[in-house]
Amino acid sequence: MISFRRRVEENGGTENFCKSKNAVHQKKMRSQMKRRVLILGSHGRLAGSLLECWSGMDHVIGLARPALDVADGASLRQQLRDFEFDVLVNGTGLTNVDRCESARDEAWRVNVLAPEIMAECASQRGARLIHFSTDYVFDGLKREPYSEADVPSPQGWYGTTKLEGEKRVLQCDPRHIVARVSWVFGPAKPSFVDTLIDRALLEDRVEAIADKFSCPTLATDAAAWIKCFFDFSISGGLYHLCNSGSCSWREYGVKALELAANAGLKLRTTEVEPIRLADMKQFIAPRPVFSMLSTHKFAAATGITPRHWHEALRDYIHKKHAPISSST
């Protein structure tokens, strides 16, 4: 077995969003920090932020490509046998929605078979798997937030494979966690927010889709929420995780540029021109028009209500982008 080693990076402020008002919960959080955690896909936008935020814990390690190939089932099983862990976090996945349509076999191996193997390996040693899924398991026809009780109806192959992966994880062991997230942004890897701000620094015109709605999720906030599942007394199953509120891509972009300008960035524009989802001819796969997720179940289980995406976005932009202003 490969032992875990202490990481020397700073924690990244995760505790700010994890502490409850009562001492009992704080005691539980201290005990959860002793869990041995293995994060797969640690170069990704979400998993990379998890690794950074949890790096102050004694027993956290991350694996990513090329050392990790989740599409190779036999190799994945062997690698998991080589590690000791109490919590296995799956941050891998084929998430390029359009590529999933043309690479269906690969998407099935990565999004379905690999999570099933992880679930089995975790169960065999009494560990908990935390597996991430997506709002794309829904068809987007509902006009209010989707709950975990709503029946999924994916419209593309990406959503289809992610839904099947969810089912196999929870069929293997109901103690495992499936966390659906939406519109993840964070410091580990650039996202829509970063691209739009970079464009607005250089261009006079930027645009974003105005008729597709969901909710952004700050990866570092998610790191705090997910750590609550280290407490095995919290029931396994399906949970929705995102910041509160909802928006279109355009509304998201408008707020990002407003906050960036307030932070001192010298933008060439703060206007975001609206475009329609139907006009995105380069899109191959269908996208749900409305895929807002309700987090009531998570709040009831943990006592934590995710903060509004405006607040999360403001903190992210001030931390990630504001230093640019001092040199311009």
Give the pLDDT score at 324.
45
Q: Is residue 281 part of a domain?
A: no
Model confidence at 34, pLDDT cuts 50, 70, 90, reads: confident
**Structural domains of the chain, count:** 1
The mean pLDDT of 90-95, rounded to a whole number, is: 97
* Number of DSSP helices (H) and strands (E) in the chain, helices first: 12, 12
Answer with the residue of higher pLDDT: 226 or 10. Answer: 226
Is the per-residue pLDDT at 7 higher than 70? no
Q: Decide if 141 is inside a domain.
A: yes
72 assigned to some structural domain: yes
What pLDDT is stored for residue 56 in this prediction? Answer: 80
Q: Which domain holds residue 111?
A: 14-182+218-244+288-306
User: Tell me, what CATH number does 158's domain have?
Assistant: 3.40.50.720
Residue 321 pLDDT grade (very low, low, confident, very high; cuts 50, 70, 90): confident
Q: Where is average pLDDT lowest: 3-7, 48-52, 260-264, 297-301?
A: 3-7
For 119-173, how does the pLDDT look when each residue is reduced to its tens digit (9 = 90+)?
999 999 999 999 999 999 999 999 999 999 999 999 999 999 999 999 999 999 9
Contact 70, 114 (CB under 8 A): yes
Q: Confirm whether 138 is domain-assigned.
A: yes
Check: CB of residue 187 under 8 Å from CB of residue 319: yes
Mean pLDDT of the chain: 90
Does any domain span residue 297? yes
H or E element in which residue 28 lies:
helix 23-32
208 lies in a domain? no
pLDDT of residue 35: 87
pLDDT of residue 10 exceeding 80: no
CA-CA distance, 60 to 5, in Å (whole number)?
A: 7
Determine, yes or no, domain membership for 36. yes
pTM over 0.85: yes
* 8: pLDDT strictly greater than 50: no
- Residue 259 belongs to some domain of the structure: no
Query: Does the pLDDT value for residue 189 go beyond 80?
Result: yes
